[in-house]
Amino acid sequence: MSTVPDDLPEARPAALLRPAGRSRPARVLFDGPERVWEAYRDTLPRALAEAGVLATVSRDLSPEETDWIVYAPGGRITDFSPYRQARAVLSLWAGVELIVVNPTLTQPLARMVDPGLTQGMVEWVTGHVLRHHLGLDRHIRRTEPRWEPSPPPLATERPVTVLGLGELGLACALALTGLGFPVTGWARSPKDERRLARVFTGRDGLAPALTGAEIVVLLTPLTRLTENLMDAERLRLPRRGFVLLNPGRGALIDDAALLAALDEGQVGHATLDTFRQEPLPPDHPFWSHPRVTVTPHIAAETRPETAARAIAENIRRGQAGEPLLHLVDRRAGY
Ligand code: NDP
């Protein structure tokens, strides 16, 4: 069953973001788990001050007192409807699939775009692509003294496909292009992107984007259109023995289809950072499968220093009556 509903309320128009009066500080409600609050308790007020925003940040504001909500999953708010004065909800996470489906959310929603997050993802993707491209495991796991030279092909001979060409996907695709890989990208809307070998878009572009790939990287958001993107049929399209990297979201993959494709040899290796259920349950077959690498959702961390600056910049913009950055399209789901 789909976890991503079709019907969502329209967000309140961003036009309601009139300039705030200068008479009192903006009141920012921080709604997230305790450990996240610990990381932002000092950094966020500092970033706001550096951005020239007069503001107070607290975990304890009534709905009537709240001008802005800074949000991370696992906080206290489940019903956003009493926060009628809140000018926007600013997500500390780049992926917003957990909040975008909340039917009580009518405030504009902005997501996290943070240079630290992008850099982290580029490093994770590049590292794991190179691991498989160079066949590093063969050397690292050697148990006997065997001298068997089998040099890997050059990157130029290893086609890579990146699904999703947003903030993270495009940065990864360009980094891989810089290393020499012929990179094919796939996105929802047409792109004039000439730095990649090929770009396909829309539903019809998915099969040509996947066909012949030796490494596939999933970096689309989880929406009703991308859930189970890699199902049994799509897993058959890349080259036999291909490597699948999923730092996007667990539900982009049909788990049972992936396990079958691994057992049958169509997928040579899967390196997974995101899962339908996190933490990945101890008895999940991914843990013990010899050709699955599990990393515990660490591909890219939101870094408090840079993320707090991104949040502060959006509050500054809103307070000044300027359009917010990185607003989520509620209907598209990302
Ligand atoms: P963006 O919104 O910037 O980019 C999303 C990309 O996916 C866009 O290119 C978009 O197309 C494309 N896309 C969305 N829906 C479709 C569709 N139906 N068909 C084809 N393409 C589609 O997101 P980010 O790059 O910032 O982040 C991507 C995801 O990475 C996040 O949603 C999150 O789930 C995950 N993530 C994982 C982290 C980790 O540590 N593992 C950390 C941070 C994020 P278009 O360009 O046309 O809009």
Task: Encode pLDDT of 82-95 as tens digits.
Answer: 999 999 999 999 99
Q: What is the CATH number of domain 115-294?
A: 3.40.50.720
Centroid of ligand 1 to alpha carbon of 173 (angstroms): 13
Q: How far apart are CA 39 and CA 242, in angstroms?
A: 39
Which amino acids are annotated catalytic?
249, 297
Q: Please name the residue whose Cα sits nearest to atom 42 of ligand 1.
A: 300
* pLDDT tens digits, 44-76: 999 999 999 999 999 999 999 999 999 999 999
Locate the ligand 1 atom nearest the alpha carbon of residue 332 and give its number.
15
In this structure, what is the dihedral angle of CA atoms 305, 308, 310, 311, given to the nearest 10 degrees? Answer: 180
Alpha-carbon span 159 to 183, nearest angstrom: 6
Looking at residue 21, its pLDDT comes to 56
Distance 59 CA to ligand 1 centre (A): 30
**Are 93 and 110 spatial neighbours (Cβ–Cβ below 8 Å)?**
no
Model pLDDT, residue 2: 46
CB within 8 Å of 317: residues ≥ 6 apart: 323, 324, 325
Q: What is the pLDDT of residues 269-284, one digit of tens each?
A: 999 999 999 999 999 9
Which atom of ligand 1 sits closest to the CA of residue 273? 41
pLDDT at position 18 over 80: no
Contact call for residues 168 and 219 (beta carbons, < 8 A): yes
pLDDT of residue 8 exceeding 70: no
Find where tokens 């019809």 sit.
204
What size, in residues, is the chain?
334
Q: Which fold has domain 14-114+302-319?
A: Rossmann fold (3.40.50)
End-to-end CA distance of the chain: 20
The DSSP symbol for 280 reads P
Per-residue pLDDT band for 16 (boundaries 50, 70, 90) equals: very low
Q: pLDDT value at position 143?
A: 85
The pLDDT of residue 1: 38
Determine the residue type at 321. G
Burial label for 243, CB within 10 Å (0-12, 13-18, 19+), is buried
Q: Residue 153: CB partners within 8 Å, gap ≥ 6?
A: none
Q: Where in the chain is the domain with CATH 3.40.50.720?
A: 14-114+302-319, 115-294
Could you identify the atom of ligand 1 that is nearest to the CA of residue 299? Answer: 40
Residue 322 Cα to ligand 1 middle (Å):
25
